[in-house]
Amino acid sequence: SQQGEEDPQALSIQEGENATMNCSYKTSINNLQWYRQNSGRGLVHLILIRSNEREKHSGRLRVTLDTSKKSSSLLITASRAADTASYFCAFRAGGTSYGKLTFGQGTILTVHP
C-alpha cells in the first residue's frame, strides 16, 4: 500500500504534556502535510513541510522531516484538552498525479484535563 503509516495509533496524555506522532512513507515526496480532524468533522490543514526542509514550526506545533528515513514527526507542545482529535499525515506519493494526496491512517490523541 502507498498509504502512510502512523504511530502510535492512539495516544493518551495529560494536559501540559507534549504529544509526538510519527508518520512513515515508502515513496519519494514533494512535501508532507499534517491535518487534524475533530470527531465527526472534516479535516483541517495544520502545516506543510517541503522535502528540502528539515524542521518547521507553527505556534505549538513542530514538524520534522527526514527524507533519508522517509519519516516525519509532529510534536504538539504544552497540550490542551482542546487538542483532542485525530491527526493525519498526508503526502503526494511518487509517480502519482501532481497534487493528489495520500493520507496516513491517523493517530487518535486524547488530552485529559
Partner 1 sequence: DGGITQSPKYLFRKEGQNVTLSCEQNLNHDAMYWYRQDPGQGLRLIYYSQIVNDFQKGDIAEGYSVSREKKESFPLTVTSAQKNPTAFYLCASSIWGAGQGYTFGSGTRLTVV
SS3 82: helix
CB of 3 to partner 1, least distance (A): 6
- Specify the residue, 9 or 18, whose C-beta has the smaller distance to partner 1: 9
* Whole-angstrom distance, CA of residue 7 vs CA of residue 95: 25
The cell numbers describing 29, all together, are 515526496
Among 24, 67, 71, 102, binds partner 1 (CB under 8 A): 102
- Check if the beta carbon of residue 103 is closer than 8 Å to that of residue 3: yes
Q: Which residues bind partner 1 (CB under 8 A)?
A: 3-4, 30-31, 33, 35, 40-45, 48, 50, 88, 90, 92, 97-106
